[in-house]
Amino acid sequence: MEARLFVDNLPAGMSEDALQAMFAGNGRQVLRVSIMTDRRTGQSHGYGFVEMASSADAERAIDALHGLVVRGQVLHVSQARPRVQR
């Protein structure tokens, strides 16, 4: 079963490829990565989502990456909340 993670406090300039590589470490399977950006400027909002292939991969990613310092920023990694219908 797929699991969606919320990643906050991303450093400026981090690419989706770099984020995917970070989460794919140690054999974890990443399905999708998206970093939220401002529509007008294209600048990162500093957070994104990572979809993992399984809940076990998601738990291992949280354990390994939550609190990790990347380019001076402390990452916050948690289970994403369900989307709210608007």
Q: At CA 35, angle to CA 29 and CA 37, rounded to 5?
A: 170
Segment 55-66, tens digit of pLDDT:
999 999 999 999
Mean residue pLDDT of the chain comes to 94
Banded model confidence at residue 48, pLDDT cuts 50, 70, 90: very high
Task: Delineate the domains of the chain, giving CATH numbers in brackets.
Answer: 3-79 (3.30.70.330)
Q: Return the H-helix or E-strand segment holding 86.
A: none
Task: Supply the DSSP symbol for 82.
Answer: P
Distance, CA of 84 to CA of 18 (rounded, Å): 28
The tokens describing 53, both together, are 């292939």
Q: What is the average pLDDT across 14-41? A: 94
